[in-house]
Amino acid sequence: MTTETTLSRHGGRVRILAFATLFTSALLVPAGQAVSEVGSQAMAGQPAAAVAVTVGEKSLLSCRHGRNCRHARHHGGHKRSCNCPAGPRGPQGPRGEKGEKGDRGPAGSSSGSAASIDSAFHKNYKYVVTAPGDGSTLVRDPRTTPRWHDLSDVAGYPGDVVAVSAAVMSMGGDLHVTVRNQTGEIAQTSCKINPVPGQYAANPAWPDNCAPFESLTPPK
């Protein structure tokens, strides 16, 4: 004779439901752990789907639909199974060590990047003045050989020149050259270009035909 035949219809359903709950819990919970709690709650008339057995800190029954999380994943995972909230975020790890600083590269050359050029006309001739970026100042006189002349040896030359300006007075015979160096110092010279430098005793060759540089630096 089975349990179903001896019990009343209502009582039989309660006992069968309790037995099914105990059987399911025994599959998921180690033997002897929390089985009595499940059985007592089921027998007290509480719905079996609302019973949650806790092992350590993890619930073996799902948060939704009364599904068991582990059981649902083991059998393929139903769409409605186990939608539990995420746990608290762990502490931040220690900061990593700072990388080694590389060596600083060498300073770039000022040649070309600081070049400056200007020109001026006297009669039918064009005079070109340039600071090529190496600290010197060059003047091109198209009537002489060689045509290019360096003014770096003229007295008072400030050195490290990075900018130049050229001008010729319309009624005069002098080429005025103004320069500025890297530190902001400004200086000016005038070079006699009539008659042709070096061809007549009245006018020596370049750069001896130029007067000493005079400082034009503004006061600070």
* pLDDT reported for residue 114: 58
- Asked if residue 38 lies in contact with residue 28, where contact means CB atoms within 8 angstroms, the answer is no
- Asked if residue 175 lies in contact with residue 213, where contact means CB atoms within 8 angstroms, the answer is no
User: What's the mean per-residue pLDDT of the chain?
Assistant: 72
Within its chain, how far is the Cα of 121 from the centroid? 51
Q: Which one-letter DSSP state was computed for residue 33?
A: S
For residue 83 the two structure tokens come to 């939608």
* pLDDT reported for residue 173: 86
pLDDT at 213 over 90: yes
Looking at the chain, the whole-number percentage of residues with pLDDT higher than 70 is 55
CA distance 122 to 192: 12
- Asked if residue 52 lies in contact with residue 84, where contact means CB atoms within 8 angstroms, the answer is no
pTM: 0.50
* pLDDT reported for residue 220: 79
Model pLDDT for residues 105-159, shown as the tens digit of each residue: 555 544 445 589 999 999 899 999 999 999 999 999 999 999 999 999 999 999 9
Domain ranges of the chain: 3-74, 116-215
Phi-psi region of 72 (alpha: psi -120 to 50; beta: other; left: phi over 0): alpha
Question: Which of the pair, 25 or 90, is modelled with greater confidence?
Answer: 90
CA distance 190 to 169: 11
